[in-house]
Amino acid sequence: MTNDQLQAMRDLRAEGYAVIIWTPEELRGASVNRVQDRSIELGHQVIDDLADPDFDRPPMSQEEYLNDGGSTCPFCGSEDIESFNPQTYTNIAWAACECNSCHKDWRDEYTLTGYSIP
């Protein structure tokens, strides 16, 4: 395998593709087409076993998040979330948030509602 081919494989993997290469030595004379067809068939079973069940699940709506008080992850519903690095700009504020369960991130957004005298 050439360095360009290896780099192309690394690039695909970096983009999230699963890339499997069987060398002619590993195939030991087996039909390339039959190995590919069977690998794809078995690969679907492996993916079904390993896939993230929440992969296609849309995040909760803005209304649901507000009703929940921003206390759960909008992607998976976990309460194991962290908020950090609050910042403000004129009448808005935001804070970075991260879920310790599904590792997705988002920002909480706040608006100025008034002032108080301590």
Contact positions vs Zn ion (CB under 5 A):
73, 75-76, 78, 99, 101-102
Q: Of the two residues 83 and 101, which places its CB atom closer to Zn ion in the complex?
A: 101
Q: How far is the CB of 110 from Zn ion (least distance, A)?
A: 21
Query: Tokens representing 25?
Result: 């030595």
Q: How far is the CB of 50 from Zn ion (least distance, A)?
A: 18
Query: Tokens representing 68?
Result: 């929940």
Q: Of the two residues 7 and 78, which places its CB atom closer to Zn ion in the complex?
A: 78
Q: Of the two residues 95 and 102, which places its CB atom closer to Zn ion in the complex?
A: 102
- Identify the burial level of 111 via C-beta atoms within 10 angstroms of its C-beta, where 0-12 means exposed, 13-18 middle and 19 or more buried: exposed
Q: Of the two residues 39 and 100, which places its CB atom closer to Zn ion in the complex?
A: 100
Q: How far is the CB of 77 from Zn ion (least distance, A)?
A: 7
Residue 89 to residues 86, 96, 111, 115, Cα–Cα distance (Å): 11, 15, 10, 15
- Asked if 76 contacts 102 with a C-beta cutoff of 8 angstroms, the reply is yes
Q: How far is the CB of 97 from Zn ion (least distance, A)?
A: 10
